[in-house]
Structure 1
């Protein structure tokens, strides 16, 4: 039995392509693995707070020294980190905004990438503390930024996600892209069909 953390970060509702695709995956996964459990978090409608000065003071000091103010400042981060560590697998819906992740998802990342919680620093450099996990990222974008194309250099989303989750130890990452969402009905339909087929393969093989 596995526990899945399912996160959506689009502020859109029913019109969100990334949301519909993550929910399609999780529904199909649960049908194939009814014993598995899922925790759902909606960052698009209920965003994580941004890091502020009290947060930094709390994150870089011993918990036993924390004042009530610092305890409050770090409490959301503690909850999100505990939730991340409790899961075996992750399904994240991440639309592309301005060639990278939405600010809602970046705020979440800033809450969970914590020294001595999800990564450490030693003589060899950075050491990830989150091991044995699998991550599925479903993205959506108005254009297409596939490797080898003239627009590939605009994709800061995939390299960033690989780097930041690799930093904390999550390197088994699968991407499913629903691109060309703003390139007309035919391009959108073709891309959604490809994404749907990739979801079916992921359910069978992930």
Structure 2
């Protein structure tokens, strides 16, 4: 039985508005999870329309930064819509991560190395790429969006799932096929196990 306290944080970062493949897919992920868990408490932020400031030395001490971090830590589920721009993630999304990767809150350094402190969350990233950058393609060496997002989330203890649509700039037929394949993947997403209290 679902708990009404299960929280989902939904982020979009594309500048393409309604034409965005990543926005379409992140919304489909949320719809799927909401169908599985009708009691979800969903918070949404459009990082393109409502961008965060880039981090400066005083940035971690602002009320906005504290609220962002608290919102993230309270979430059971993270859904991110992320296009690949110029081989990497949008700067708006990177700014959000810069507010979230905070020593002592989401990770710490130990004698054995870095330790993530934000584990126990489920993260699903809806990633779109205009070209072909998956393994086996000539452009694979230039893929720095999925690897960067996966690395940052992994560093704080979260192993993300990726729903990828690539080649979306290669004409309407390829775009439709890529999105359809990603939607088929989304349709197989399983329910989320709610975190247990420590």
Question: What TM-score does the superposition give when structure 2 sets the normalisation length?
Answer: 0.90
Q: Is the 8 A contact 1:137 1:176 kept in 2?
A: yes
- Alignment partner of 1:164 is 2:155: no
CA distance in 2, matches of 1:30, 1:205: 10
Q: Structure 1 residue 12: deviation in Å?
A: 2.3
SS of 1:53's equivalent in the other structure is: coil
1:120 aligns with 2:108: yes
Give 1:53's aligned residue: 57
- Shift, 1:17, TM fit: 1.2
Partner of 1:190: 177
Residue 42 of structure 2, aligned match among 23, 38, 53 = 38
Q: Please list every run of at least 4 consecutive aligned residues from structure 1 whose deviation after the TM superposition is greater than 3 angstroms.
A: none
Q: 1:9–1:42: 8 Å Cα contact kept in structure 2?
A: yes
Structure 1 residues 28-56: Cα deviation after superposition (integer angstroms, max 9, x where no partner):
3212321122111111110111011322x
Structure 2: gaps spanning 5 or more residues: 193-198
Give the length in aligned residue pairs: 188
RMSD over aligned CA atoms reads: 1.4
* Aligned: 1:148 with 2:136: yes
Q: 2-side partners of 1:134 and 1:16: how far apart?
A: 23
Equivalent position of 1:63 in the other structure = none
Higher helix share: 1
> Which has the greater radius of gyration?
1
Determine the C-alpha separation between the residues in 1 that align with 2:148 and 2:183: 24
Distance in structure 1 (CA, Å) of the matches to 2:39 and 2:57: 42
User: Which runs of structure 2 are paired with 1:105-116 in the superposition (5 Å)?
Assistant: 105-116=93-104
The answer for unaligned runs of 5 or more in structure 1 is 60-70
1:5 aligns with 2:9: yes
Distance 1:33 1:88 in 2: 12
Question: 1:62-77, aligned counterparts within 5 Å?
Answer: 71=61, 74-77=62-65
Name the counterpart of 2:69.
81
